[in-house]
Amino acid sequence: MRLQLGIILACLTLAGTAASDAQEREDGAGDATARLLVYDDNDATTVVTSIADVDATLPGAISIGAHTVLDAVSSASVDVVSAATGRWQENRVEVGARAVVPVAGSNLTVGTVRSQENDWLSHTASLAGSRELFQKNTVLSAGYGFTRNKIGRAMDPSFERSLLSHSAEVSVGQLLDRKSRGGIAYSFQALSGFQSSPYRYVAASDGTTVPERHPDKRRRHALSAFVLRSLTPRASARIDYRLYRDDWGIASHTGTVRFSVELSKRVSAALDGRLYNQSQADFYRASYPTSFRFMSSDRELASMWNVGGNAQLGLQLGPLKLDARVGAIRYRFRNFPRLPRRVALLAGGGAKVEW
Amino acid sequence: MADTNVKTDGRALAKLFAGIGATLILSCCVGCVRVKPFEREAHSRKTMQERDASDAKLEGHVHEYREGSVGGSGVGGGGCGCN
């Protein structure tokens, strides 16, 4: 499946966070985190994702970290029905390591990630840097990552495709006043290689059925901004917006609002809402009259919107932080007749200990 | 019916994004009053801290495989200046 495609940008994000954390810690300090999230929707798909992550600061302000992610997927969605197979289950295992090194007033982060499923293997290498400027009023960050994917098909050893991905991201964070800060980021991803599903077929109205065919090249751009403001000594609000375009014709807008409240010295809570809207890819059709050069039955390339929200509760007991969350997302696919709507429920929690 | 071709408007798109980005960066860096270290009490409060990285990763994980868009999540890091 295609669970790996977002890894590279996530790596760059984590690299920036790791660099920021490393600046604040003393030698020997560190933290360990374990987290679990369950996604369950009415399209017969359940995904259980667990993360374990550890960071430690060494002498010389060098920080090292490692993480592992396990996705356990069980699905009998309309995609599977259309491919004439039954419910399938599979696991994805991701492992990664990173190091943050201070160099001439900046922090450089190098990282690597390996991800494996039964039909997909990927390796990622990333390099990122960040620097504080103007008495720490401004933070500039930039990163680059490269991923090589090897794609197979279950029970078909003769099927082998490749997909290469180059990603870059630049961002600036800025204190806006005594109570507010904000930032903007631009990210770019260039993909080259096999980007269809090895399992999906597309049926045309004239009776022909062909394997899904997506273009081999894709360039994706995202520009995002946020403002975070302290409302009272115990409450803050954050607004995020992202504009996305790619050369497959998809344009999207994403808006997120998050309120955080400190209920007591130990207990905190957060509420967030997210609205997402996207246009369809140029070559996507709900039905094709005949065989076209590019054909897709991927609902993620259809015109769609979704709205969701989460409630989160946190508890701090000395060096131990615990949190739990519940959420829901309602999807509406405007031109994917087999699944016009989908509702997903989310539940999860985490534990983090610092030393 | 004619075949469907993918639009290749990448250059125009890149220029548009670059223009928006440059404008925002300049307005952010030039237009803002500098906040001195002793004025950053609000920035050091618990509710102003960045979301836990693994929590944010999971949140992104939920969306990135169910939507046609990715990226832009790196904006969260940095900018506090309160350490």
**What does the pLDDT look like over A324-342, one tens digit per residue?**
999 999 999 999 999 999 9
Quick check: is A82 in a domain? yes
Mean pLDDT of A153-166: 91
Which positions 216-235 of A are in contact with B (Cβ < 8 Å)?
219-226, 228, 230, 233-235
pLDDT higher than threshold 60 for residue A15: no
Which of B5, B58, B81 has the CB atom closest to A51's CB atom? Answer: B58
Distances (CA, A) of B21 to A251, A277, B29, B71: 17, 22, 12, 15
pLDDT higher than threshold 80 for residue A242: yes
Axis crossing angle, helix B53-64 with helix A7-24, rounded to the nearest 10? 170
Quick check: is A2 in a domain? no
Q: Chain B closest CA to A124's CA: distance in Å?
A: 16
Q: What are A57-115's pLDDT values in tens digits?
A: 998 889 999 999 999 999 888 775 555 567 888 899 999 999 999 998 899 999 999 99
Nearest to A344 by CA among A37, A64, A123, A46: A46
Residue A20 has a pLDDT of 54
pLDDT higher than threshold 90 for residue A187: yes
Tokens of A320: 């131990």
**A10 touching chain B per CB within 8 A:** yes
Residue A62 has a pLDDT of 93
Quick check: is A205 in a domain? yes
Name chain A contacts of B53, Cβ cutoff 8 Å.
13-14, 17-18, 21, 53
Q: What are B32-79's pLDDT values in tens digits?
A: 568 888 888 899 999 998 888 899 989 998 998 899 888 766 543 333
Quick check: is A1 in a domain? no
Which DSSP letter does residue A336 get?
Answer: -
A280 pLDDT tier (thresholds 50, 70, 90): very high
pLDDT higher than threshold 90 for residue B20: no
Quick check: is A110 in a domain? yes
Cα-flanking dihedrals φ and ψ of residue A199, to 5°?
-110, -20
Q: How many CB atoms lie within 10 A of CB A180?
A: 19
8 Å CB contact between A127 and A110: yes
Residue A28 has a pLDDT of 83
Quick check: is A315 in a domain? yes
A220·B69 Cβ contact <8 A: yes
A247·B47 Cβ contact <8 A: no
Tokens of A149: 């994917």
Residue B80 has a pLDDT of 38
B65·A250 Cβ contact <8 A: no
Q: Provide the CATH number for the domain around residue A59.
A: 2.40.160.40
Nearest to A189 by CA among A138, A141, A97, A124: A124
Note down the domain range covering A254: 7-354
A59: left (phi > 0), else alpha (psi -120 to 50), else beta? Answer: beta
Quick check: is A226 in a domain? yes
Among the residue ranges A9-23, A27-41, B16-30, the one predicted with the least confidence is A9-23
Residue A326 has a pLDDT of 98
Which of A18, A185, A215 has the CB atom closest to B6's CB atom? Answer: A215
Tokens of A283: 């070559």
- Give the span between the Cα atoms of A106 and A103, in whole angstroms: 5
Q: Which residue do the tokens 């600046």 mark?
A: A23
Which positions 150-209 of A are in contact with B (Cβ < 8 Å)?
167, 169-179, 181-189
Quick check: is A247 in a domain? yes
For chain A, how many structural domains are there in total? 1
Residue A10 has a pLDDT of 52
